[in-house]
């Protein structure tokens, strides 16, 4: 009789233990995960830190944490961390053993391989009894976000002949009449607006006199990034790395222009990672370089409009006295016509061709 009773008691204790873990295993358990910085550049190294606290008497013989984050971050090899990579996301599995009232902190080395915005919104915890009779899981919300900016290149890395144009840009100024500044009066000339006539001076001199407007110096640049890798592309980008290089060109030129005090705008026929809206990116004026870098980090390579149409919209707004830099893989016929239209309106138009792989060093 002793053996059956021993077996019965043992089985009863196992099921009691399993019931305890099922009911209380995930109680009084907290978890946080964060990066050592919120912003980085391509190629930067940083840390991802995990902290988990078991604030109860019941120890956890095993705890499995599973999460998913977009590809583009390279994690160093480490014990108790498993990574499986898919086409878009990579899954992370961490294993812990937690004693009673235990606080554990782990640091993972991370290399930012590609620009983008990396979010981690949930983590799934799974635990159970020591003998694996039951498993209990729960999903915990997280608000983890990392912005990886495109790398800023040296000006020498930009394709020729854009170097000479960039050199002229800081000293080039558009001379524009300012309607709010008056420098005196002058005689009426054919084509002057009737609103400029100074009637008192006309009566005093006996000849038609008009207000003489003063001039202001201004310089404005609009960087136009075209994510079409060919003039026949419909929506999906096929040569991703070539467009990524164009994004680096845009960031580098914006940094140069803004450092030299040039008002800089940005347009792109991609879209932002903003919940599925498919509007092109248009920023008339960037107050800080970080504003543009954030846009570029969030840029999705999903064409919203032909670049020619986006330039047509600029022309339809009546814009003038502005330098347009078109960063593009192609100069298709429709795109060239749209660029010529902007030029005829009194704008400067320059091209920066994104070379195919291998052409940079050619």
Q: Is residue 323 located within the same domain as residue 197?
A: no
pTM: 0.81
Q: Is residue 39 located within the same domain as residue 162?
A: no
Q: What are the tens digits of pLDDT across the range 92-105?
A: 888 889 999 999 99
Closest CA to 31 of 92, 134, 106: 106
Give residue 314's pLDDT: 96
Q: Is residue 37 located within the same domain as residue 85?
A: yes
CA distances from 305 to 197, 226, 280, 287, 335 (A): 45, 10, 7, 26, 12
On whether the CB atoms of residues 290 and 147 are closer than 8 A, the answer is no
pLDDT at 188 over 80: no
310: left (phi over 0), alpha (psi -120 to 50) or beta: alpha
Q: Establish if 360 belongs to a structural domain.
A: no
pLDDT at 179 over 80: no
Give residue 193's pLDDT: 64
Q: Establish if 359 belongs to a structural domain.
A: no
Question: Token digits for 286?
Answer: 């960037």
Closest CA to 157 of 259, 220, 223, 246: 246
Q: Which domain holds residue 202?
A: 179-216
**Omega before 161 within 30 of 0, i.e. cis:** yes
Q: Is residue 197 located within the same domain as residue 59?
A: no
Q: Is residue 143 located within the same domain as residue 191?
A: no
Residue at token pair 């990396």: 118
pLDDT at 9 over 50: yes
Q: Establish if 160 belongs to a structural domain.
A: yes
On whether the CB atoms of residues 254 and 292 are closer than 8 A, the answer is yes
Mean pLDDT over 120-147 rounds to: 91
Q: Is residue 278 located within the same domain as residue 346?
A: yes
CATH number assigned to the domain comprising residue 250: 3.40.50
Give residue 6's pLDDT: 72
pLDDT band at 34 (very low <50, low <70, confident <90, very high): very high
Residue 343, C-beta contacts closer than 8 angstroms, at least 6 positions apart: 349
State how far Cα 283 lies from the chain centre: 14
Q: What are the tens digits of pLDDT across the range 249-285?
A: 999 999 999 998 889 999 999 999 876 678 999 998 8
Q: What are the tens digits of pLDDT across the range 196-211?
A: 677 766 666 677 776 6
Q: Is residue 192 located within the same domain as residue 69?
A: no
Q: Which residue has the higher pLDDT, 1 or 358?
A: 358
Give residue 272's pLDDT: 92
Q: Is residue 122 located within the same domain as residue 191?
A: no
Total structural domains within the chain: 3
| Residues above pLDDT 70, as percent of the chain | 85
Q: Which residue has the higher pLDDT, 304 or 83?
A: 304
Q: Establish if 362 belongs to a structural domain.
A: no
Highest mean pLDDT among 6-10, 67-71, 212-216: 67-71
On whether the CB atoms of residues 117 and 146 are closer than 8 A, the answer is yes
- Choose the final residue of a domain: 192, 216, 240: 216
Q: Which residue has the higher pLDDT, 152 or 175?
A: 152
Give residue 132's pLDDT: 83
Q: Where are the alpha helices (DSSP H) in the chain?
A: 2-24, 162-168, 199-205, 240-259, 289-298, 307-316, 333-344
CATH number assigned to the domain comprising residue 131: 2.60.40.10
Q: Is residue 121 located within the same domain as residue 94?
A: yes
Give residue 172's pLDDT: 63
Run of H or E residues at 118: strand 116-128
pLDDT at 195 over 70: no
Q: Establish if 196 belongs to a structural domain.
A: yes
Give residue 231's pLDDT: 85
């Amino acid at each position: 009789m002793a053996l059956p009773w021993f077996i019965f008691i043992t089985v009863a204790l196992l099921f009691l233990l399993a019931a305890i873990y099922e009911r209380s295993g995930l109680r009084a358990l907290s978890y946080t995960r964060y990066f050592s910085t919120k912003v980085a550049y391509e190629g930067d190294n940083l840390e991802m830190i995990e902290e988990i606290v078991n604030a109860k008497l019941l120890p956890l013989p095993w705890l499995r944490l599973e999460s998913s984050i977009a590809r583009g971050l390279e994690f160093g090899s480490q014990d108790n961390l498993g990574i499986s990579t898919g086409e878009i996301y990579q899954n992370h599995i961490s294993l812990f053993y937690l004693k009673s009232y235990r606080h554990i902190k782990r640091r993972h080395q991370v290399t930012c391989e590609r620009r983008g915005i990396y979010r981690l919104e949930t983590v799934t915890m799974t635990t159970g009894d020591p003998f694996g009779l039951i498993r209990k899981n729960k999903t915990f919300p997280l608000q983890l976000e990392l912005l990886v900016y495109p790398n800023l290149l040296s000006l020498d890395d930009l394709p020729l002949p854009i170097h000479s144009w960039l050199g002229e840009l800081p000293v080039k100024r558009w001379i524009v009449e300012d309607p709010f500044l008056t420098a005196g009066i002058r005689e009426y000339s054919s084509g002057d607006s009737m609103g400029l006539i100074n009637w008192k001076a006309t009566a005093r001199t006996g000849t038609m006199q008009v207000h003489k407007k003063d001039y202001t110096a201004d310089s404005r640049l609009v960087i136009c990034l075209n994510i079409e890798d060919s003039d026949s592309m419909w929506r999906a980008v096929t040569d991703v790395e070539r467009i990524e290089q164009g994004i680096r060109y845009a960031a580098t030129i914006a940094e140069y222009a803004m450092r030299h005090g040039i008002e800089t705008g940005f347009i792109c026929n991609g879209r932002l990672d903003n919940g599925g809206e498919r509007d092109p990116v248009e920023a008339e004026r960037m107050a800080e370089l970080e504003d543009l870098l954030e846009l570029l980090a969030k840029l999705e390579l999903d064409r919203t409009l032909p670049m020619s149409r986006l330039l047509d919209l600029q022309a339809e707004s009546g814009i003038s006295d502005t330098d347009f830099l078109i960063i593009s893989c192609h100069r298709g016929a429709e795109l060239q016509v749209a660029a010529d239209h902007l030029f005829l309106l009194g704008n400067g138009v320059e091209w920066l061709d994104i070379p195919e792989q291998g052409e940079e060093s050619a």
